[in-house]
Amino acid sequence: MEPGLPKFFPCSKCVRVVILVLVCFSLSFACTEGFDSLLELPRSGSNRTRPRSKRVLFVGDFGARGDGLYDDTEAFEIVWKLACSFSSRTRIVIPAGYTSLIHPIDFCGPCKSKVTLVPCRHAPTAVTFHKCKNLRVKNLRIVNSQQMHISFSSCLRVVTSLLKVIAPAMSPNTDGIHITASHRVQVKKCIVRTGDDCVSIVSNSSRIQIENIVCGPGHGISIGSLGKYNSCSQIQDVTVDGAFISNTENGLRIKTWQGGSGFAADIKFRNVLMKNVSNPIIIDQYYCDSSTPCANQTSAVKMDNISFENIKGTSATKDAIIFACSNDVPCEGLYLKDIQLVSQSSGVTSSFCWNACGSSAGLVFPPACFTCTDGLIQQYVSSSYALTTEGFIQQNVSFNYAFQSF
């Protein structure tokens, strides 16, 4: 087994997922109606000759013209093969000023060392990395996809940063960053404004770190949906640390279908500021994205050891905290600490709990409503307090907002 990978327990209703160690990722430049399949860079900077290094490869040196007319696919294939053959770490760079026409292409290994892709700022409408290992992606901007914008599928050891994803607020199924069946993935300093989940994490993923994310509009940061069609899902060791979520349908959400199996465990949400967010904190084990009512089922994906710490801001709905857990598989190990979620419209916020076991500490508002407790509950609720966006960011969130201008 790959060192550092979790030893997932087998599920009775699924086959254990085996992650391939082959280094391969698929870069799919999807052309949808109304869009051209182009890699586009901002028209700034100079194309003057730059010092060359064995570790830095410029696509223009391998035949890419970057004029938006000539097919640069072959040049990208050549530069990938060369980068993959180096025993030292290699960076593939697409220079500023390029607009490269790229057809669907697979970049596969195994490679002798780590490869970093530094693409243009304006990218295709959809990018998929499949079965990748030791991948770094940064400074990527994706606009107006009619599907998921950037997806990591069956990947191992990925670091991605400085992504900007933009789509209309009313566009469905346009997840910003989608992670499935992947392990040891870091997503840092990203801006996502779409019509669906800003970040979605699904099926058999572990050791996922989401840091310093700006999210909204959209559906917030989601784990799930899990367990659809009576399937097994195993999610473990996920951390969201540092986020500004505004004008979204949900804030921090875990959603599962009835009838599923497996677990979602060891999940931490902390240091999050929200503004005008419906359902700021929500675990929904009765999720049903169907035109007809979903049948009641007894089995469920187990929720265990999930914490929410230092979550503050304004709720667009009355129920700022919702823990709707399974009748037969209650949520356990829930933990709330330093929660301040007030009404966006000067109303009153409340909590809703169903079969939710947990504890709380510090100031928690609205007050916790756990139906059963895990140990001693220490709860201090203030009837009034001052909460400002500026103050929260200065005191609690170590965002480097310079990245917003990239």
Domain ranges of the chain: 21-156, 197-399
Half-sphere exposure of 17 (CA within 13 A, CB side): 23
219 is catalytic: yes
Q: At residue 391, what is the residue type?
A: G
Closest CA to 140 of 114, 121, 125: 121
**pLDDT-flagged residues of the chain (< 70):** 1-54, 68, 96-97, 99-110, 118-125, 374-406
Among 185, 316, 317, which Cα is nearest to 200's? Answer: 185
Kindly state the tokens that stand for 79: 């530069």
Distance CA 265, CA 373 (A): 18
- Rg of the chain on CA atoms, in Å: 22
Reading phi first (left if > 0) and then psi (alpha if -120 to 50, else beta), residue 298 is in alpha
316: tokens are 């667009």
**C-alpha dihedral sign at 162, 165, 169, 173:** negative
* CATH 3.40.50.1370 given to domain 197-399: no
Q: Are 174 and 143 in contact (CB under 8 A)?
A: no
pLDDT at 50: 46
| Residue 313 bridge partners (DSSP) | 274, 341
Catalytic residue chosen out of the listed positions 197, 219, 266, 338? 219
Q: What is the pLDDT of residues 360-381, one digit of tens each?
A: 999 999 999 998 876 544 444 4
Catalytic residue among 72, 196, 197, 319: 196
- CA 401 to the chain's CA centroid: 19
Residue 352 Cα distances to 73, 318, 359, angstroms? 54, 10, 14
Catalytic annotation on 72? no
Backbone angles phi, psi at 24, to 5 degrees: -160, 130
pTM of the model as a whole: 0.75
